[in-house]
Structures are given as structure tokens and as C-alpha cells.
Structure 1
Amino acid sequence: MKMGIALGLAAAVTLLLVMGTLFYRRWKKQNPKHLLVDAFLERHGHLQIKRYSYSEMKKVTNSFKNKLGEGGFGSVYKGQLKDGRHVAVKILSELKGDGEDFINEVASMSRTSHVNIIALLGFCFQGSKRALIYEYMPNGSLEKLIYEDNAVIGDRQLDCQTLHDIAIGVARGLEYLHKGCNTRILHFDIKPHNILLDENFCPKISDFGLAKVCTRKESKVSIFGARGTVGYIAPEVFSRNFGAVSHKSDVYSYGMMVLEMVGGRKNIKAEVDASSEIYFPYWIHNRLVSNQELGLQNIRNEYDNEMVRKMTIVSLWCIQTNPSTRPSISKVVEMLEGRTELLQLPPKPYWFSPSTSP
């Protein structure tokens, strides 16, 4: 009798194991994107960042009580690790395509360590649950700082020195990605929203979902289709007729971002007066050519005027349509730290966007 029960239980367990294995294999077959992510994680078992379970994510975020923001990628929550550090936890929405964005983020961030690059502290990949854990940036994104309606954070008034320091910090971060890593990393989505600010307004580049990792020797890269955000996409990324895609594509996006920092407005169809609209890079280039006052709200003295003039000239060089005409990001750092009178004014830039190609 007992022998029969034991054999029956053994048979039931064996059947459950077989069914479970078959179910798992079938699920994996139907979800090839998870295979790709799993393969990546197996290859990179030595990652210096911790892998968390989803239940641990709930504990870190106190069951996702404090939401910091959301977007097409998912939602971001404030959390706290066991050691007391505050973190930002990005809970990603439905895995898109083959999981490339998730892999890009983990692969890129695990290779970086720089004062101007956001630190990835951990990740979660459990079934359909995916999350990325970053150091917490109390002053949020640059986007909230630069536009006119949000020119004050706490008791800190936006000033030209802060803008200049942020511009140099972002440039140094990009220089590290382009030259300082063991592999070259092209970001492909530099914009104010992806620049985060710590308690001292030190800028840190974030969101590496569109990044491309390549060898240090590669001067040109191959990508399929356009990637980035309209208004910051380099012409050659949208159409190869403009030239090859390279690290100069990040330089273009950086230049567009710095112009928005200077103007406190969007570059495309930026408001100049109550009755007309114009492409801001044209407007400010015309002012420089005719040696007019820049007339921007944050300029309070001659020192401010010189800093803004320098940032403007450098950014106009960065957004030249021909990639070969743009400076490298190392040259950008050199220009921003140098004397304004040594800078030459670049040619007038094209008005380029995917919707209004020249």
C-alpha cells in the first residue's frame, strides 16, 4: 500500500517536472526577446552591479509609493537601499522588440564610471519585470531648469555661471564616453531631459537605451534607421546623404541642447516676440554676425555676456550640417574653457529636422 502511494507520488512529481520543462521551453520559444536578454546576462555574469528580484524592488521603493515621473519607457520611483542610499528606480514598461533598449542600458552603464555619467547601481530582470536602479538626483532633469517657466529650482536662480558649468560637465561626460572608456559609447539621445542634476547641480548623462557600443578604433558606425529625439537628431542619423554616422552625431545633439540652455526655449519655432516665430539658431547667429546685444534674460553683466557668447559660438559650430565641420567633443571642452575672442563665428546653420529636411 505504502509502496503504491510512494510510486504514485514519484510519478506525479516526475509528470509535473516534465510538464514544467515543456511549458518553460514553449514559453522561451514564444518569447525570443527574453532569450536574448538571458544570453546577455549569462555572458556578463561578472557585472559589477547587483541583480535584484522584483520583490526586492518593491521593498526598495516601499511598494512604489513615491513616483518621480513617467514617460514612454515606464515610470520612475524614489527608493532607498539597505545601506541608506537614496535611489531612482526606473520600472520599464512592456519589453519592446528584442529587448535591445534594456541590453543597451545595462551593457553601456556597466562599462562607465565618471562624475558626469549617472551611476547604474543595479537591475532587475524577472520574467516580464524589468527595472534599472540609479543614483538619485535631487534636482531632477536639466529640462526642468532651463525653460523660462521653470527658471528657479528651490532657492537657486538660474544664472549664466550655472549654465556654463553644466555645459562643460556634459561635454566632459561625452568626452569620457567617446574617448575615456575601454570601448567607445555613442549616446544618440543627448537632450535636456536626459541630463540629471545632483544636489550641487553637477550634470550627469543618463538614459542609454539608444546607445551604441563600438570599438575605440571605429570612427564610423553602422545603425539601422534613425534614432534619437526630433529636434536633436543629427542630419546624418536621419539620412546618410548628409554623411557618416559617428561620434560627431552626439556633438550635434549636444550643440542643440546648449542652444536651448542659452535661449531658455526650444530651438524649433522659438518665440522671439509676440507676433513672430523663427528658428532660434538663425536668430542668435544673426545677432552675433551683426554684433548686436544677445538680449537674453539671464545676462546681467559683461562677464555673463562673454560666457553666453562663448557657449553660443561653440554650439553653432556643433550643429553644422556637415559632420566633418563639427569639432570633436574634446575640442568643444577646449573651446568652452578657452578665451571667447579666440573663437571664430561659424557659417549659418541649416534649419534641419526630420519633418523639414533642407
Structure 2
Amino acid sequence: MLTNSKYNAGEDFINEVSTIGRIHHINVVKLIGFCSDGTQRALVYEYMPNGSLDKFIFSSNSGPNHKFSLDKLIDIALGVARGLDYLHKGCDMQILHFDIKPHNILLNHNFNPKVSDFGLAKLYPKNYSLVSLSHARRTIGYIAPELISRSFGVISHKCDVYSFGMLLLEMAGGRRNSNPRAENTSQVYYPSWIYDKLIEDAIEHNVIETDTSIEIDEREKKLCLIGLWCIQIRPSNRPSMFKVIEMLEGDINSLQMSPKPFFSETPQIPSKVPHLNTNDGELITILEDVDELN
């Protein structure tokens, strides 16, 4: 049920429903019907028997039989990334979701993910590089900085990339990114803790050659490295969803450590730490070009 039906009235509502109704992608939940009766608005989507992703990745909500392997988490991440890439570039209109979070990733009977809940989604012609957004409910913890202040950059599909990065980090850590009850104060904010841990890991394995107190699985590290790129403060420093797919499908040795993606007094990557791209030593800066906005 659409509670803010005054914003989904008449012809505009029908136009948006007809556009969303034409979306057919294995990783986007299918709209099968709608209701427009007076002031009442409702959307009917396909049923997803395994519910939402959040109950499977947060330890407090899942038992031992509901835990995904890291390989399965990467498969789920790839599915979500492909769904978002389709919404951004594969439709007649560019669709920005604006509310990517574990609760809005639904799982079918085979645990394949589908992006759902388009209550905040906006449709734009593909040639739009700038997006205006006057009012929207937003979920704390997944909000791109530019949605709070335009001083960080323009609103674009990179808002979804940011939210996806926060989702990846929660999938990797098996916990919410912010946990005020963490035993160690350094672990209250998981993205900051894992960034520092990856820096330490790179120093110890590549410079000092000592063992780490906490081992990070290569697949978990892969999710974290990509997630940290996605949550860069400046939208121009985040990869497109197409690039994210390439990163998820590629080898971890092709990934570099990102700059620190949040406000902190902690220094950026130490000069002694080698980048994680060991194939040819070439530095590759992830930047957006004009075409990526379309």
C-alpha cells in the first residue's frame, strides 16, 4: 500500500506503474498488478518465499541453519549488482532506487536475490546527468552524503552505489555497520574497523611478514574492498554498478585498497603499504565519466 498517495496521483502514478511493470530482470522483483481507486494506491509484487536478506546476514536474527557461505554471499552480491545495473542502464528510463538495504533485497525459493520496494524510486530519462530530489524518506546508515548536502556532489545513480557498498560491508561482517554495543570501541563502526584491519593486514603480509591476530578470509576481504570503494564520500570516486560487477567477478589480486571513505583523523593509506593490484603494478583510479551518469 502506498501511504503517500497524494504523490502518486492520477496520470503520473499510471505512467510510473506502467514503466516499472515493463521491467523484466531475474534480479528485480516483478510487478504483477496494481490498484488505483480514488485515493487508494497499491502495488502487487511476486511472492518471495524466503523473505528478506537481513534475517540471513545478521547473527542476531539467524540460526546456524540460516547462515550463508561466503561464496553464496558473493553470488547474492552479484545478483543485486546486476539488478541495479539493469535499473540504471538497461531500462527505457533510468530508475534510481534510493533505498537499497538488506530489508529490500528479497530471496526466492532458490535464495536468488531480487531488488524490491520501489517506494522511493525515481524515473529519469537516460540523458539526465543531474537529479533533483525534493522529498524522500531515507534509511539511516545507507544514505549517500550528497543526499544530505549537495556540497558532496550531485545526486545520481551513485547514491545507489553508496547504499550497495554499505550493504556489501554488512554482508561481509555479518552484522550491522553501526553497533554501539560492540565490546571494543574500535569495532562500533564496522567500515572503519575493517578498513584499518585491511591496512594492518597489508603491512604485516607485505612488509613485516608477521601473523595477524584476526584472519580475514579472501572472499570476505573481496566484499570489503569493493564495499569501501562504493562508499567513497565523493560520488565521482565511486565505481558504476557495471564496474562493481567486474570487480565481483574478477580476482581479488586485481583490486586496490581504496582511500579512506569516511571522515576520520586517521591518515590515509600509508606510503609503505603496496596497492593490492599485483598483476602489473599499474595504479587504476576509479572515476566516473559523463557516459556513466547516463
Indicate the percent of aligned positions where both proteins have the same amino acid. Answer: 53
Q: Determine whether 1:123 maps to 2:34.
A: yes
CA distance in 2, matches of 1:234, 1:108: 25
For residue 239 of structure 1, what is the amino acid of its counterpart?
S
Aligned partner of residue 130 in structure 1, secondary structure: strand
CA distance in 1, matches of 2:31, 2:238: 31
Query: How far does residue 182 in structure 1 lie from its aligned partner after superposition?
Result: 1.2
Q: Is the 8 A contact 1:188 1:227 kept in 2?
A: no
| Cα deviation code 1:27-61 (max 9, x no counterpart) | xxxxxxxxxxxxxxxxxxxxxxxxxxxxxxxxxxx
**Which consecutive residues of structure 1, in runs of 5 or more, have no partner in the other structure?**
1-90, 300-304, 353-358
Aligned partner of residue 321 in structure 1, secondary structure: coil
CA distance in 2, matches of 1:145, 1:102: 34
Query: How far does residue 309 in structure 1 lie from its aligned partner after superposition?
Result: 0.7
Choose from 148, 155, 158 the match for 1:238: 148
For residue 313 of structure 1, what is the amino acid of its counterpart?
L
- Rate the CA distance shift 1:276–1:290 in 2: closer, same or farther, 3 A: closer
CA distance in 1, matches of 2:177, 2:223: 15
**Aligned match of 1:144:** 55
Give RMSD over aligned pairs. 2.5
| Cα deviation code 1:126-173 (max 9, x no counterpart) | 2343322111101100111111122348x4432111211111100000
| Cα deviation code 1:313-348 (max 9, x no counterpart) | 000000000100000010000001001011100011
**Aligned match of 1:18:** none
Q: Determine whether 1:254 maps to 2:164.
A: yes
Higher strand share goes to which structure?
1
User: TM-score, normalising length from structure 2?
Assistant: 0.79
Q: How does 1:264-279 map to 2 (within 5 A)?
A: 264-269=174-179, 271-273=181-183, 278-279=188-189
Q: How does 1:220-239 map to 2 (within 5 A)?
A: 220-225=130-135, 227-239=137-149
Query: How far does residue 107 in structure 1 lie from its aligned partner after superposition?
Result: 4.6
**Which consecutive residues of structure 2, in runs of 5 or more, have no partner in the other structure?**
205-211, 265-294
Q: How does 1:187-198 map to 2 (within 5 A)?
A: 187-198=97-108
CA distance in 2, matches of 1:99, 1:248: 25
Aligned partner of residue 123 in structure 1, secondary structure: strand
Structure possessing the higher relative contact order (Cα contacts under 8 Å, 6 or more residues apart): 2
Q: Which runs of 4+ in 1 moved over 4 A?
A: 100-105, 274-277, 292-296
Task: Give the greater-gyration-radius structure (CA).
Answer: 1
| Cα deviation code 1:98-123 (max 9, x no counterpart) | 33696686255213110000000001
Query: How far does residue 201 in structure 1 lie from its aligned partner after superposition?
Result: 0.8
Q: Determine whether 1:328 maps to 2:237.
A: no
CA distance in 2, matches of 1:192, 1:105: 24
Choose from 213, 231, 245 the match for 2:123: 213
Choose from 94, 119, 138 the match for 1:184: 94
Q: Is the 8 A contact 1:226 1:238 kept in 2?
A: no
CA distance in 2, matches of 1:104, 1:269: 41
- Rate the CA distance shift 1:247–1:133 in 2: closer, same or farther, 3 A: same
User: TM-score, normalising length from structure 1?
Assistant: 0.65
User: Size of the alignment, in residue pairs?
Assistant: 253
For residue 56 of structure 2, what is the amino acid of its counterpart?
L
Choose from 310, 335, 346 the match for 2:258: 346
- Rate the CA distance shift 1:275–1:238 in 2: closer, same or farther, 3 A: closer
Q: Is the 8 A contact 2:186 2:193 kept in 1?
A: no
**Aligned match of 2:22:** 111
Query: How far does residue 96 in structure 1 lie from its aligned partner after superposition?
Result: 4.4
